């Protein structure tokens, strides 16, 4: 979903294929659905304040509906998160919603043009590449990935790069 006023950096199909690759890499169940909203700084600032308690806009927010334990265990993940992915069975003909991702396209453009992209703040690339990264990043968050601990952050960044380089099939 593209909010009015949000610039179109990528065709819808490219957004979809990027998100599908991220979800597959993150261990999402086949047939799962996600709502992807491309918005602006104003909307992200409101969501950031309401849900994260932080002022100002951010680039991407993910709102997962499933706990991290619903997905396969991954490198760096806290050992207390036990995977129940083998027990996670979708009802027949039912699509499981994994949650929502909201991205500020305005932030993606600004970060890319200022050379502050790549989630590390040091990558210079196009706004469309930054948007692809934010879609990937948000998708991995919905699949239980995080970057609070250094080992998991390194694993998440490596998986993001693999998805963006196309070395992980969608």
CA distance 53 to 85: 31
Query: Does the model's pTM come out above 0.75?
Result: yes
CA distance 23 to 31: 10
Per-residue pLDDT tens for 126-163? 999 999 999 999 999 999 999 888 999 999 999 999 99
The tokens describing 33, both together, are 């659905």
Region at 35 (left for phi over 0; alpha for psi -120 to 50; beta for the rest): beta
* Neighbour-count burial of 92, counting CB atoms closer than 10 A to its CB (0-12 exposed, 13-18 middle, 19+ buried): exposed
12-165 — its CATH code?
3.40.390.30
Contacts of residue 166, defined as CB under 8 A and 6 or more positions apart, other chains included, come to: 21
Per-residue pLDDT tens for 47-98? 999 999 999 999 999 999 988 888 888 888 877 776 655 455 556 667 789 9
Residue with tokens 């039912």: 94
């Amino acid at each position: 979903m593209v909010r009015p006023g949000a610039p179109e950096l990528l065709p819808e199909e490219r957004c979809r294929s990027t998100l599908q690759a991220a979800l597959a890499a993150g261990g999402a169940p086949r047939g799962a659905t996600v709502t992807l909203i491309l918005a602006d700084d104003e909307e992200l600032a409101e969501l950031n304040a309401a849900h994260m308690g932080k002022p100002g806009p951010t680039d991407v927010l993910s709102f997962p509906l499933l706990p991290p334990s619903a997905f396969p265990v991954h490198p760096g993940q806290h050992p207390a998160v036990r995977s129940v992915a083998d027990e996670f069975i979708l009802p027949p003909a039912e699509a499981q919603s994994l949650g929502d991702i909201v991205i500020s396209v305005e932030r993606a453009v600004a970060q890319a043009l200022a050379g502050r992209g790549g989630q590390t703040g040091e990558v210079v690339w196009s706004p469309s590449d930054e948007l692809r990264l934010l879609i990937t990043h948000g998708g991995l968050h919905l699949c239980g990935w995080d970057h609070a601990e250094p080992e998991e952050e390194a694993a998440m960044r490596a998986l993001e790069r693999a998805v963006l380089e196309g070395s992980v099939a969608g």
